[in-house]
Structure 1
Amino acid sequence: MTDGKRRKGLLAASALLGGVLVLSACSSGAGTSGGGDGKSSQAQVDEAAAKKTSEAQIKITPGDGSNNASINNSAAVTVSKGTLTDVKMTTSEGKEVSGEISADKTSWKPTGQLDRATTYKLTATAQDSEGRAAHENASFTTVSPKNSFIGTFTPDDGSTVGVGMPVSINFDKAITDKAAVQKGITVSTSSGQEVACHWFNANRMDCRPEDYWQGGSTVTLKLALDGVEGASGVYGVQQKTVTFTIGRNQVSYVDAKTKQMRVTQDGKVIKTIPISAGSPENKTYEGQMVISEKFKETRMNGATVGFTDDDGEGEYDIKDVPHAMRLSTSGTFIHGNYWGAKSIFGGANTSHGCVGLSDTKGAGDPNTPGAWFYDNSMVGDVVVVQNTGDKTIAPDNGLNGWNMDWAQWKAGSAL
């Protein structure tokens, strides 16, 4: 290489090296600019942002994305290190759900029960002592009907019923863990009577004392079934308290042999009424039966309970049976009868299994035996049928568990 070429090469290398040094110097300068304390500009930005962040900590339950959430205890919002300023809850379709912030502004809950199989959205805002705002959002879906069970119960809250009225609960799903469900149900009475529950099958549980309820007492049913797993993947949703009152002690005794009914209150006979029970071919069940429904007038068609003629039509079809009161699920009633001769009442058993009382068409005469008994009876009163020659009614055929002795009854408990 000639000297001229060597000098040009050295100059080029020197220029290249200088460029590297300059670039390195710029990079190094950017990393240390802004002061000599060793902190980067990004750290300072983070520190400044942290000083502006609210200390309020919002918690929404259930957690975002939850499924099978409770319809009773879900949708709670709480805050620590701050107070709530606004909470909004809507369905996924935009329907707003009413709720209330607590007096101390640290919690919020909806004011009503949520719907099943519904997606809800919650937006909450709070502020800390410095007035700095914090925000939180969540969405969850409540338990679906497929994954939940409900118990339909009798009697109704606030009702007054007769001394024979059991608490009867019918579940809309078969219960496989009966013990877990029964633990979530309590029945107590102001009289202090011991109450036991009996499972008739996977869907029905009744509760009663050993003897009839004491007249004038108050019975309380508590359902704490929310979240209770009654079957695999199937959860309870009910959380409520029900109270009802026991009325006067009225028990009526139907004697198919004498064809008379003695109506008693507190053990004393207050009226004797001539009756007509089931015929020898269609005997009335014997046993203790509880009035479960009352109808001033109703239709009775034999075809609905198996009484049909050769053409498949009902052996009877009376569209205006007066003063009818149900005694069994299978169709046993005690009711007024206007179509039979007056001589049958107290004289002959002629019915298809019901207990008939003399009455008039249209249920408009208050002076008939049928009207009197209807007006002086209530749901839950007991009618004891005797001397028919038929078998004792099944305890689960209506509200008739009184036909089991106490030991048998308690043996049906899951606890």
Structure 2
Amino acid sequence: MRTRAPHLILTSAALAAGALLPSVAHAAGPATPAPSPPRPAAAAQGEDTRPLLTITPGDGSRNVPTTGTPGVTVNHGTLTAVTMTTVAGGRTAGGHTLRGTFSEDHTTWRPATTTLAAATVYRIDATGKAPDGRSLTQRTTFTTAGPAGVLTGYLVPGDRTTVGVGMPVSVTFDKPVTDRARVAAAIHVTSTSGQKAVGHWFGSQRLDFRPRDFWKADSDITVDMDLRGVTAGPGLRGDESRTSTFHVGRAQISTVDAAAKTMQVVRDDKPLRTLPISAGAPESPTYNGTMVISEKHHEMRMNGSSVGYLDEDGKPAYDIPDVPHAMRLSDSGTFVHGNYWAPTNVFGQKNTSHGCIGLADVKGGATETTPAAWLYANSLVGDVVVVKNSGDRTISPDNGLSDWNLPWSAWVRGAAS
């Protein structure tokens, strides 16, 4: 089954890129889940007692009540550290840390405040220890609800970040916009390269801007969002004005040939390295098309239930708590990531995943020498990954930051005007 939940519930573990807000989720297409290692016997019997950190609300949650109390709980272990901070992109500036307290046994943590700021992006990072000494890590990002009758836009990428040449400007609104032309006219995107960015609506709550071709390397982009007093629909107005800038770094484009089972990494028109990969198996091929890295996680959990991959007994077909060097390519679950459970001779020889692009790695990602570690260290959010010669269709432009799959003529024809 290739369907997915409204939000992909992949429990992340540390180092999600600050340049992009995981909570600003885009409309997703059919799922392309993560690959699965052999399931532990206990898990197959429904008796998996693996230690697990749980953060409430879940990763990617939106319109969270401001009076709700977030929290962290650990089962079969202890919490060692928890930080809760605001993230740039919403109505509140990023970088503010909220104080909190642990329970006496260090199995729970709660913030000291019982009221959160409205229309604000929060991130919680938690670490713990399992009884056997293993480290537990998790990161969750969520967004609180905005005031009634007030339109709030969440901007990606973040202010003063450095991104790859494929990074579009993406604004996700907390409420449906009916007067799209008026709202779009209040947002201006300019570049030092002189490239003209044109806006395009994906539905009533997402507005993206991009130039005809990828951004020029080493350029600066400025986004002026002047929504104060702008009517967005009946009984709905904007009330904020802000300016954000980001820098476009070097031009890196990685091309995955699913048939040849290789990834060629090119930077500034010069080949850097060709890596052996394992893409989607024939029954679950990887999307074709141009994708953009939207998140980076040194380690994260991937669970088949979040993307509709279940066994006949209804349990997740896979549950991998520590997928290393994971970089998101789509909202529906496509990642480039390390794979420590497959034999090394699989890479470059056989496509075995549920749709992701796997590279050889080690458990825990505790090395800089594996192909997955090298790619992770040499990649930015906003870098381009092109997949060709796969058995699947081309990814939808609104699935993740895949804007470049919509031809320019169609992009302009549906421009935000």
For the superposition of Structure 1 and Structure 2, which TM-score range results when normalised by the shorter chain? 0.5 to 0.7
Aligned counterpart, 1:388: 390
Q: Provide the identity percentage.
A: 54
TM-score by length of 1: 0.65
Q: Tell me by how many angstroms 1:371 deviates.
A: 0.2
CA displacement, residues 141-191 of structure 1 (integer Å, 9 cap, x when unaligned): xxx811101011100000000000000000001000001101100001000
Which one of the candidate residues 335, 346, 353 is aligned to 1:344? 346
Q: Which amino acid aligns with 2:201?
A: W
Cα deviation for residue 414 of structure 1 reads 2.9
In 2, distance between residues paired with 1:166 and 1:385? 19
Which residue in the other structure is 2:299 paired with?
A: 297
Partner SS, residue 270 of structure 1 = strand
Does 1:368 pair with 2:370? Answer: yes
For 1:412 and 1:334, the matched residues in 2 are separated by 31
Counterpart residue number, 2:46: none
Q: CA RMSD in A?
A: 1.2
What residue number does 1:315 align with? 317
C-alpha contact (below 8 Å) 2:198/2:416 kept by paired residues: no
**Aligned counterpart in structure 2 of residue 259 of structure 1, from 258, 261, 264:** 261
Runs of 4+ in 1 over 6 A off after TM superposition: none
Query: Alpha-carbon deviations, 1:295-344, whole Å to 9, x = none?
Result: 00000111111111111111111000000000000000000000001011
SS at match of 1:146: coil
Q: Distance in 1 between matches of 2:413 and 2:296?
A: 32
Q: Which has the higher contact order (CA 8 A, sep 6+)?
A: 2
Whether the 8 Å contact between 1:219 and 1:245 is mirrored in structure 2 is yes
Partner of residue 206, structure 2 = 204
Separation of aligned partners in 1, 2:161 and 2:357: 26
* Rg (Cα) greater in structure: 1
Unpaired runs of 5+ residues, structure 1, are 1-114, 118-143
Q: Distance in 1 between matches of 2:241 and 2:118?
A: 14
**Quick one: distance in 1 between partners of 2:308 and 2:414?**
31
> Kindly tell me: are residues 311 and 191 of structure 1, through their superposed partners in 2, closer, same or farther at Cα, counting changes over 3 Å?
same
Q: Cα deviations across residues 339-366 of structure 1 (Å, max 9, x unaligned)? A: 0010110000000000000000011011
Please state if 1:238 is matched with 2:262.
no
Q: In the alignment, does 2:149 pair up with 1:147?
A: yes
What is the CA–CA distance in structure 1 between the aligned matches of 2:230 and 2:334, rounded to whole Å?
37
CA contact 2:337–2:372 (8 Å) conserved in 1 = yes
Contact 1:330-1:397 within 8 A present in 2 as well: yes
Q: 2: CA distance between counterparts of 1:194 and 1:243?
A: 16
Aligned with 2:190 (options 174, 188, 191)? 188
Residues 115-164 of structure 1 deviation map (CA, whole Å, 9 limit, x = unaligned)? 989xxxxxxxxxxxxxxxxxxxxxxxxxx811101011100000000000
Structure 1 Cα separation of the partners of residues 309 and 301 of structure 2:
15
TM, length-normalised to structure 2 = 0.65
1:372 is aligned with what amino acid?
Answer: W
Aligned length: 275
Q: Match of 1:330, as an amino acid?
A: S
Secondary structure at 1:173 match in 2: coil
Q: Which amino acid aligns with 1:384?
A: V
Task: Report the Cα distance in structure 2 between the residues aligned to 1:311 and 1:371, rounded to whole angstroms.
Answer: 35
DSSP-derived class of the 1:222 partner: strand
Q: State the match for 1:165 in structure 2.
A: 167
Give the letter for the 2:406 counterpart. Answer: M
Q: Residues 200 and 412 of structure 1 are in contact (CA less than 8 Å); yes or no, is this contact kept in structure 2?
A: no
Match of 1:379 in 2: 381
